[in-house]
Amino acid sequence: MDEFWDWLSGTELAFQIGATWWFPLLESLHVVALAVVVGSIFFVDLRLLGVMGMRYPVRVFTRELPPWAWGGFGVAFITGLGMFITRPAAYAANPAFLIKMGLLVVAAANVFVLHRLMLDASAEDSRGAKLTGLISLLVWIGIIVAGRWTGHIN
Ligand code: HEM
């Protein structure tokens, strides 16, 4: 794997990103994208928890917001990858980065469970739906903390 990381960080693209204003530009776009992802997901979570939007069925939120969340995630993924290739071996050994990746998998599994639950309209305000909302809130907060923490570990 070390050879692959060496090759990756030695590419012209990785050099250009790491040695120019591309890195801060990508990092800024990463932050805008994750604001869209986390912002839209928090609306769904708060509705699931019964904290806001109770005049509307959960389905309104689970239909309207995922396209924004997925679009934002696509941009976060591409910009994240762009930053990652500048120092792949260091990121791959960075515990905060690995925790962030692990939590992204947990968030994906939670979305899968929520989708299964939403196939049954009567489950909208169930305890299970509330639990997925709570897990999502906590996991996304964890992803942001781990993302910020990544840069503080060398
Ligand atoms: C929507 C999902 C994601 C969220 C919420 C997220 C969150 C964050 C946050 C909060 C930061 C710190 C930004 C700053 O302080 O300026 C960050 C940086 C970063 N993220 Fe992400 N991220 C996500 C997806 C990804 C993915 C998929 C990758 C890799 C493929 C990635 C790679 C990185 C890298 C390399 C950095 C720079 C760390 C540094 O050296 O400071 N991120 N992310």
Residues 40-73 have pLDDT tens digits of 999 999 999 999 999 999 999 999 999 999 999 9
Average pLDDT, whole number, for the chain? 96
Between CA 90 and CA 102 the distance in angstroms is 17
Q: 84 C-alpha vs ligand 1 centroid, how far in Å?
A: 9
Provide the pLDDT for residue 124. Answer: 86
User: Does residue 153 have its Cβ closer than 6 Å to ligand 1?
Assistant: no
Q: CB within 8 A of 103, min separation 6: which ones?
A: 139, 142, 143, 146
Number of H helices and number of E strands within the chain?
A: 8, 0
pTM of the model: 0.94
Q: Ligand 1: which residue has its CA nearest to atom 28?
A: 80
Provide the pLDDT for residue 39. Answer: 97
